[in-house]
């Protein structure tokens, strides 16, 4: 039994999270997981090795402004009353041959466009606004661009040739695709997306194709069968949703056996992990030779959570109440999958927030309150309950941006308290209208 776990109380939150991440690290180190994919297929995956750039970016010194390339010593002291006048000996435009540029001698200038290669001999670009815009001869009326870099973007400013562009474990986002394309990385090595199979049980549950049973008052929709796979895919998993399993030991054992036989890197169950008369998950795992590390955590919602291993495959058991499923999915399954997928960043960002509602948390548990966030008048984040906090109330989970973490030692959150909130992985954190304006 892991440290910090009592037979009845279960693990403290941070002990449970540490146990789960360590389990994921163990399994991540023992699976075949690297593949070479086209760049466009790498979005959301983790790089399996450092990516080095064969070229410098930018590949040459270039202009940061439309204007005139000059030798800065020539324009020192230029003003509206004492302009400097030079012949324009050529033009450099973006896309021009960088090896065929006119040489800027003392007392000459080259017209140049933003991003165009800087001609040899030049060390500054005078912005066009400080000139008369001449095409064959230019009058320069200000010398402010002789200071600093002189509107010159140096070669290799963004990426030096031979340097690491992105490190192993980097999660590839849209901007990464652009940078990788810029250095010619048509393919990249990434970690294989973890294959996750989700098995849910419950005789009262049906999928949407049986909604008539819901209308008749006989069943309820298995909402987690839609919400949880989406959450896990957001973490980078390749998710298979198994058919709903019946609330019998034989039925659940058979469903788990089928999932394992089909092959997966992580087996996730929802429901049946508590101590009720129809909670068979732990017995079904034992029947398949599985071993458990722990099966309860001192948190609310989501206390009936377990983890272990069966047939060499890690198992994560989430509670069946819809909100508890999603909360524990975010807190535990998300970092497990990120770790399996080779991502360097696996934990959600914790941010300081000012809680505007008063909430009592009398039980000695770590509470995770669903809250919505917005910016206060001083720009700091403020939090309010997104609604009632019952573990069956999924709408308030959908309305939440974060989980407010209330330590087990705290019995009440007073309005105005500064607290820590864990950002939910798929919370958009967007605002309506134009920021800074009333709507």
Beta strands in 128-254 (DSSP E): 137-140, 152-153, 164-166, 187-191, 195-200, 205-206, 220-221, 238-241
Listed in sequence order, the residues at least 6 apart from 315 whose beta carbon sits closer than 8 Å to its beta carbon are 266, 267, 268, 269, 285, 290, 306, 307, 308, 309
Q: What is the pLDDT of residue 209?
A: 93
Determine contact, residues 274/319, Cβ cutoff 8 Å. yes
Secondary structure of residue 341 in the 3-state scheme: coil
Question: Would you say 159 and 183 are in contact if contact means Cβ atoms under 8 Å apart?
Answer: yes
Supply the pLDDT for residue 247: 87
pLDDT of residue 4: 42
Reduced to 3 states, what is the DSSP secondary structure of residue 291? strand
Does the CA dihedral 140-146-147-148 come out positive or negative? positive
pLDDT tens digits, the chain, 439 residues: what are they? 444 434 346 999 999 999 999 999 999 988 778 999 999 999 999 999 999 999 999 999 999 999 999 999 999 999 999 999 999 999 999 887 767 778 999 999 999 999 999 999 999 999 999 999 999 999 999 999 999 999 999 999 999 999 999 999 999 999 999 999 999 999 999 999 999 999 998 889 999 999 999 999 999 999 999 999 999 999 999 999 999 999 899 999 999 999 999 999 999 999 866 655 457 898 999 999 999 999 899 999 999 999 999 999 999 999 999 999 999 999 999 999 999 999 999 998 899 999 999 999 999 999 999 999 999 999 899 999 999 998 888 999 999 999 999 999 999 999 999 999 999 988 876 766 666 654 4
Tell me the whole-structure pTM to 2 decimals: 0.87
Angstrom distance (rounded) from CA 392 to CA 75: 73
Report whether the peptide linkage leading into residue 266 is cis, meaning its omega lies within 30 degrees of zero. no
The two three-digit tokens of residue 287, written as one number: 């029947």
Q: How much is the pLDDT for 80? A: 96
pLDDT for res 100: 78
Tell me, what's the pLDDT at 8?
A: 46
Backbone φ and ψ of 436, nearest 5°:
90, -5
Place of tokens 């294989």: 192
Q: What pLDDT, on the 0 to 100 scale, is given for residue 268? A: 97
CA 94 to each of CA 30, 63, 123, 148, 434: distance values in angstroms, whole numbers, following the listed order = 50, 9, 18, 23, 35
């Amino acid at each position: 039994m892991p440290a910090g776990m009592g037979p009845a109380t279960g693990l403290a939150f941070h002990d449970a999270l540490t146990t789960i991440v360590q389990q994921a690290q163990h399994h991540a180190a023992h699976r075949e997981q690297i593949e070479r994919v086209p760049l466009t297929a790498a979005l959301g995956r983790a790089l399996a090795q450092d990516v080095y750039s064969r070229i410098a970016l930018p590949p040459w010194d270039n202009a940061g402004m439309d204007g005139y390339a000059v030798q800065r010593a020539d324009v020192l002291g230029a003003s509206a009353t004492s302009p400097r006048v030079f012949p324009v000996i050529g033009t450099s435009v973006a896309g021009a041959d960088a090896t065929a540029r006119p040489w800027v001698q003392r007392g000459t200038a080259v017209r140049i466009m933003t991003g165009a290669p800087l001609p040899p001999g030049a060390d500054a670009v005078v912005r066009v606004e400080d000139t008369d815009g001449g095409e064959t001869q230019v009058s320069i009326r200000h010398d402010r661009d002789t200071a600093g870099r002189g509107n010159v973007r140096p070669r290799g400013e963004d990426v030096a040739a031979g340097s690491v562009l992105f490190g192993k474990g980097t999660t590839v986002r849209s901007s990464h695709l652009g940078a990788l394309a810029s250095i010619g990385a048509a393919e990249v090595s990434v970690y294989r997306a973890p294959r996750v199979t989700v098995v849910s049980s419950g005789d009262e549950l049906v999928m949407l194709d049986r909604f008539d049973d819901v209308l008749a008052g006989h069943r309820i929709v298995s909402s987690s069968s839609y919400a949880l796979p989406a959450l896990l895919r957001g973490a980078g998993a390749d998710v298979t949703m198994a058919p709903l399993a019946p609330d019998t030991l034989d039925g659940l054992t058979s469903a788990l056996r089928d999932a394992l036989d089909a092959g997966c890197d992580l087996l996730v169950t929802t429901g049946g992990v508590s101590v009720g008369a129809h909670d068979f998950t732990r017995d079904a795992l034992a029947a398949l030779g599985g071993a458990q590390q722990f099966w309860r955590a001192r948190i609310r919602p989501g206390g009936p959570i377990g983890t272990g291993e069966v047939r060499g495959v890690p198992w994560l058991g989430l509670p069946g109440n819809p909100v508890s499923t999603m909360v524990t999915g975010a807190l535990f399954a998300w970092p497990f999958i990120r770790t399996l997928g080779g991502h360097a960043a696996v934990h959600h960002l914790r941010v300081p927030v000012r809680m505007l509602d008063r909430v009592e948390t009398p039980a000695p548990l770590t509470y995770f309150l669903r809250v919505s966030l917005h910016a206060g008048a001083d720009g700091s984040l403020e939090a309010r309950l997104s609604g009632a906090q019952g573990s069956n109330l999924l709408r308030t989970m959908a309305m939440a941006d974060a989980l407010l973490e209330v330590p087990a030692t705290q019995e009440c959150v007073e309005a105005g308290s500064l607290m820590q909130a864990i950002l939910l992985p798929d919370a958009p954190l967007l605002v309506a209208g134009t920021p800074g304006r009333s709507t």
